[in-house]
Every structure is written in C-alpha cells, then in structure tokens.
Amino acid sequence: MLEDGFGRRFAYLRLSVTDVCNFRCEYCLPNGYQGKPTGFMSVDEIRRLVAGFAELGTTKVRLTGGEPMVRKDFMEIVRVVRATPGIERLAMTTNGYKLCETADELKAAGVDAINISIDSLESERFEEITGDRRFAKVFESIDTCLEAGFGAVKLNTVLLKGLNDHELPGFFEYVRSRPIALRFIELMQTGDNQAYFEKRHVSGDVVRRKLDDEGWKPVDRGPVDGPAVEYGHPDHAGRIGLIAPYAPGFCDTCNRLRVTARGGLRLCLFGRGSQNLRPFLQRDEDREQLKACLLTALLGKKVSHFLHQGDFGDTPHLAYTGG
Ligand code: SAM
Ligand code: SF4
C-alpha cells in the first residue's frame, strides 16, 4: 500500500494525459497553450503506470490535463485504465467542450464520474474568464451527462473577485433541482498568476459563511473522495462543495498523488520537482522497479504544503501539473 511517513494512504491517482488546452482561462493559461505539445505518455506507458499504482492499492484514477479530451486517443486511454485490475472508479475533469457528443461513449468506455469546469452561468462572463465562446455547449453538457447516467456529475467553479462572486446565489439556486455537486475552488497561486491572484482571490470563508447562514450541513467524506468538503441541504437535490487549500488542516486528509502527462510523479500540487517514472514504463517486466520507485518516493512527501509561507512550489499553472 502506498503510505507516506505521516500515515496517510494514497488510493487516488490524478493522472494528466496532456498539458495542451484549447481554452484560455485567465488564471491558468491566459495566453492559451504556449508549450511544446510533444512527449506525452503513450497509451502503453499509461497502462503500465496505472497497473503499478493499482498493485500498490490505488483504486481510483482521475484523468485530467490540460484538457484531457484534446487527446485523439482519449477513449483508448479510458478503456485501458478502466480495464486495469484493481481500478474500481474512473473519473475525469474536463472543460466540457466535447461532452455533448461524447457523453454516451465515455460512459460506455467506463468513465464513472465527470467533473465539468464552469466558472459562470452567464455566457459573456464565461467567455471573459475562459476566452471561449462555447458557454451554451458546456452548459448543455451538464444535463447531457446527467441523462447519460454517470454515477456522479460535479461542477468546478473557481471563485473570482469582481468577476463571478456576484453569481453565488445563482449557483446555489442551480443545484436546488439538480443532483449535482457544485464545488467552489479557491483560486490558487501559481508561478504564472501572481498578480491575478492578488486581484481576484476570494477566501473560501465567503462560501462557508453563506452555507452556515442558510443551514447547509457537511456530509461525510469517503476514503477516495477528493479535497472538497461537501454540504447538503434538505431543500436542494444537489450539494455545494468547497475546495479551500488555504484553510487549516487541508493537507491532513490528503489521499492523492499526481503524475504529469510526461510521466513525472508529483507528491503535492504545491511541491517542487518530480520523480521521472518514464524509465520504468517501457516494458511490462519493469513493474516491480516502478513500484519500488513509488514506495521510496512517497517517503519524501511533506506533511503539508507551504502556501502560508508564500511558497506555492514550482507549478507554473495547473494545466502543467494536472489540476
Ligand atoms: N481543462 C480541464 C478543466 O478545466 O476542467 C482539466 C484541467 S484544469 C487544470 C482542472 C481544474 O483546475 C479546473 O476546474 C480549473 O478551473 C482548476 N484550476 C486551474 N487553475 C486554477 C487555479 N490557479 N486555482 C484554482 N483552480 C484552478
Ligand atoms: Fe484549460 Fe482547464 Fe486551464 Fe482552463 S483551467 S485553461 S480549461 S487546463
């Protein structure tokens, strides 16, 4: 079992399959993708990687990016990961640009849960934040995914001062009749967005106060649940969640590891450096070496991030690390 020096266990892998993205979210890739779109793990490398993790107790994988769906072989990746013995749950995070036409196929290929990022329920605001005009399509894809029958459909919304924080009541209203968890993510500081962070960061306390005032109650977390604390309310079919990395105790329940699209193991979203796993992904015979490398690397995981000391690690933006 993957366990760190503080007794935390890691049954959840967040796997980036590309750092390319077709959106230009202001806080992530404001100028669009500027990297070199080469060198990403092949389907075979991904298969070997996930098999190694699964043999060490990983039961849940989330495919992310960049925008994971820009990979032409994305469905193949889904099938390969889902077919790995031990993987019980396959989730993905997407900006939703291609979900309307692929939701059924994704479901059939084995995706259990979908997170769709949507930062505004207003078309113009959405375009301002993401640089993309496909609001109507992304918005429609939420209902398409519900109809397709995924085990969970969740929304990710980054709260941004002066841009979408006035929409808080609208977001709450949106989940009144829909069985969806809408999770507010506190804007995180990365290497490339420092000025933006200063200007737009909204503390998660704003959401927490509203939840308290309106009688929302926290619901229990499962062992492979992500970082969101989710709240329920008797008058709402859906839930509201909060991902607040700056809140005390955020790291205590850490249960996830990340691998970048180029095969680097990252122990923390806000950490530094990565362990290159590529040498162990070229042959099935190297599985034991891969596992030994993972177990050793994990001993280097720190007890928490250092955001409060102003150290947000070496992540330029979340598309790079896999958000
Ligand atoms: N492109 C996909 C998407 O947007 O859903 C997957 C990758 S994206 C990096 C994953 C999530 O990270 C999105 O919900 C996005 O809004 C969020 N994100 C990106 N940069 C962030 C930042 N600096 N602070 C907080 N959340 C961020
Ligand atoms: Fe792309 Fe997701 Fe980053 Fe937006 S948040 S630029 S959709 S990777």
> Is the shortest distance between the CB of 23 and ligand 2 below 6 Å?
yes
Q: Which residue lies with its CA nearest to atom 12 of ligand 1?
A: 323
Question: How much is the average pLDDT of 265-274?
Answer: 89
The finding on whether 67 has its CB within 6 A of some atom of ligand 2 is: yes
Instruction: Report pLDDT for 54.
Output: 98
- For a substitution probing ligand 1, which of 71, 93, 97, 163 has the most ligand atoms within 8 Å of its CB? 93
Give 83-101 pLDDT, tens digit per residue. Answer: 999 999 999 999 999 999 9
pTM for this entry: 0.96
Number of folded domains that form the chain: 1
16 within a domain of the structure (yes/no): yes
Give the per-residue pLDDT at 268: 87
Residue 3 belongs to a domain: no
pLDDT at 320: 87
Residue 42 within a domain: yes
Residue 213: exposed, middle, or buried by beta-carbon count in 10 A (0-12, 13-18, 19+)?
exposed
Give domain status of residue 4, yes or no: no
Percentage above 70 pLDDT, the chain? 100
Ligand 2 atom closest to the CA of 93, numbered from 1 = 2
pLDDT digits (tens, 9 = 90+) for 206-239: 999 999 999 999 999 887 887 889 999 999 999 9
Ligand at minimal distance from the CA of 69 is 1
In a domain, 73, yes or no: yes
Which CATH number characterizes residue 290's domain? 3.20.20.70
Spacing, Cα 93 to ligand 1 middle (Å): 9
pLDDT at res. 221: 84
Output the CA 200–ligand 1 centroid distance in Å: 15
φ/ψ region of 149 (left if φ > 0, alpha if ψ in -120 to 50, else beta) reads: left
Is 169 a member of any domain?
yes
279-295 mean pLDDT: 97
Quick check: 250 pLDDT over 90?
A: no
* Residue range 128-178, pLDDT digits in tens: 999 999 999 999 999 999 999 998 999 999 999 999 999 999 999 999 999
Enclosing domain of residue 137: 12-320
Is residue 5 in a domain?
no
Ligand 1 in contact with 130 (CB < 6 A)? Answer: no
Determine the pLDDT at residue 109: 97
How far apart CA 83 and CA 147 sit, in angstroms, is 24
With 80 as the cut, is the pLDDT of residue 323 above it? no
Kindly state if the Cβ of 318 falls inside 6 Å of ligand 1.
yes
226 part of a folded domain? yes
Predicted local confidence at residue 311, as pLDDT: 77
Segment 287-306 shows an average pLDDT of 90
Position 249 pLDDT exceeds 90? no
Please check the confidence at residue 204 and state whether its pLDDT lies above 80: yes
